[in-house]
Amino acid sequence: MLNSVIVVDDEAPIREAVEQWLTLSGFTVQVFSRAEACLAQLPDAFPGVILSDVRMPGMDGLQLLAELQAKDRDLPVILLTGHGDVPMAVDAMRDGAYDFLEKPFTPERLLRSLRRALEKRALVLDNRTLHEQADHRSRLDATLLGMSPTMQTLRRQVLDLSPLPVNVLIRGETGSGKEMIARCLHDFGSRADKPFVAVNCAAIPEPLFEAELFGHESGAFTGAQGKRVGKLEFAHGGTVFLDEIESMPLAQQVKLLRVIQERRIERLGSNQSIEIDVRIIAATKPDLLDEARAGRFREDLAYRLNIAELRLPPLRDRREDIPMLFSHFSRQAAQRLARSAPALSGAQLSHLLSHDWPGNVRELANAAERQVLGLDNPAAEALPGGQSLVAQQESFEAHCIRSALQRHRGDIKAVMNELQVPRRTLNEKMQRHGLVREDFLAEGNSPR
């Protein structure tokens, strides 16, 4: 339960007495003699209650109430009033104050009011958190597309990890969406309003790597004209995404390890140490520990980067997501190119599902754009890397059931009628393909 209280009163004896009462009662108390100081230091979404005198020099309690209401209308404010201020305090409650206490008040009366206010504050903050989580889930569903079990698990992992101040290692094949996952970890976390800096370690020539990452002072090396802030320093407060981290030169791995340990950097040509606060998200295709055993990567850095690991499934392992992704990319391309998105025939869909997609999502997006341009026809010929007929049938069946569940928002009876299958058969097929009715339910639907 919340227990934070801020006390604002210009009279030292009252501040000290209230602070002592509340501290002995188990509250965390912070005191201010002026309202202006309270406003300047009040954190966003303060998890507690404000207890303020009404009559104070400078900004009084009513003005403080108005400022606090502008910042957070649900923040409980309890006013301390003299006898002559009671009518004014009643008006203040109509304007949003939670309660008022007339001086002199007893400790018991104060504690009762504070505990009720803190209970209300806890409910408000819990409700906000639930709304925020629901909003994040909705936005993430629209960003990381796919209804396969692996994608549903991946979205849950991203939501769990995004608010945590830990480094993350993303493993996945080329084109599987590693940078998009990194961006989601940043966008759905507490650093969303700070820089997101992406660095492709394989694209930076080794002689320039240190200057690119750490920056340099004027004259630090031939051609270094003027001071330059490096990627790590520029990302202060935000996130650095190190793609293809396995390509980082060993000499720079040592320096990155030191940055992670000490949270400080030095520009090339400088002796000054600069404190930085960055979250590091790295991405790799190979296993970094295998690279370490081969002498190409530092084992200690691999462990520092891999506090949490996310594995992106290749597209061939979630073929049931291919129709949804292809349709999405086709609509995007059609809108961008001012063309219509051609509909897929059954034969075209079968060929899409039979391809192994070595370039993963990136290759699929390219195929969708080429189709919109009329440069490629997925049905023109069988694509390489085909599946067996049974595997293709299974993929197509999963797609048909999932699409019906989405259209009917989890209404099993409607799905049975559309697909012309009995309840028991549909249940068996849904279980085999990892489809759960609750994932498709519209809000307020009752079970059927």
Could you tell me if residue 236 is inside a domain? yes
441 class by beta-carbon count within 10 Å (0-12 exposed, 13-18 middle, 19+ buried): middle
Q: What angle do helix axes 412-419 and 423-432 make, rounded to 10 degrees?
A: 100
Confirm if 26 and 54 have CB atoms less than 8 A apart. Answer: no
pLDDT at 385: 45
Q: Domain boundary at 271, 287, 313, which?
A: 313
For residue 134, tell me if it sits in a domain.
no
Residues 302 and 342 in one domain: no
pLDDT in tens, 11-45: 898 889 899 989 999 999 999 999 999 999 998 88
Q: Of residues 253 and 375, which shows the higher confidence score?
A: 253
Indicate the DSSP class of residue 268. B
Average pLDDT over every residue of 438-446: 62
pLDDT tens-digit map of 210-269: 889 998 887 666 666 767 889 999 999 999 999 999 999 999 999 999 999 999 998 888
In a domain, 296, yes or no: yes
Q: Are residues 391 and 290 in the same domain?
A: no
Please check whether residue 119 lies inside any domain of the structure.
yes
- pLDDT tens digits, one per residue of 84-126: 677 777 777 888 889 888 888 888 899 999 999 999 998 888 8
* Whether residues 363 and 420 fall in one domain: yes
359 and 301 housed in the same domain: no
Task: Give me the CATH number covering residue 16.
Answer: 3.40.50.2300
The pLDDT, as a whole number, for residue 396 is 75
Query: Residue 54 in contact with residue 79, Cβ under 8 Å?
Result: yes
Instruction: Give the mean model confidence (pLDDT) for residues 406-430.
Output: 88
Cα–Cα distance measured from residue 310 to residue 136, given in angstroms and rounded to the nearest whole number: 18
Q: Is residue 88 part of a domain?
A: yes
Q: Are residues 109 and 162 in the same domain?
A: no
CATH of the domain at 368: 1.10.8.60
Omega before residue 149 within 30° of 0, cis: no
In CATH, what number is assigned to the domain containing residue 253?
3.40.50.300
Predicted TM-score (pTM) of the model is 0.64
> Helix axis angle, 322-337 relative to 389-407, nearest 10°?
70
What is the span of the domain harbouring residue 331?
Answer: 316-440
Together in a domain, 151 and 268? yes
- Domains of the chain: total: 3
Mean pLDDT, residues 55-63 taken together: 90
Do 278 and 350 lie in one domain? The reply is no
Tell me whether residue 398 is in a domain: yes
Return the closest-CA partner of residue 313 out of 191, 136, 434, 134: 434
Check pLDDT > 90 for residue 7. Answer: yes
Q: Which residue has the tokens 């903050």?
A: 125
Q: Is the pLDDT of residue 381 over 60?
A: no
Average pLDDT over residues 379-395: 55
DSSP for 180-203, please give it. HHHHHHHHTSTTTTS-EEEEEGGG
Distance CA 254, CA 149 (A): 38
Closest CA to 10 of 29, 48, 28, 36: 36
Report yes or no on 138 lying in a domain.
no
> Does 72 share its domain with 48?
yes
Domain-ending residue, one of 83, 102, 127 = 127
Does 277 share its domain with 150?
Answer: yes
Kindly state whether residues 152 and 270 are assigned to the same domain: yes
Average pLDDT over the chain, rounded to whole? 86
Is residue 298 domain-shared with residue 160, that is, in the same domain? yes
Q: Is residue 106 part of a domain?
A: yes
Tell me, what's the pLDDT at 90?
Answer: 77
Domain limit, last residue, from 263, 291, 313: 313
For residue 446, the model assigns a pLDDT of 45
Least confident of 47-61, 372-386, 392-406: 372-386
Q: Are 197 and 241 in contact (CB under 8 A)?
A: yes
Enter the tokens of residue 27. 């509250």
What average pLDDT does range 366-378 have in this prediction?
81
Residue 390 pLDDT > 70 = no
Q: Which residue has the higher pLDDT, 270 or 380?
A: 270
pLDDT of residue 305: 95
Q: Are residues 228 and 336 in the same domain?
A: no
295 three-class SS: coil
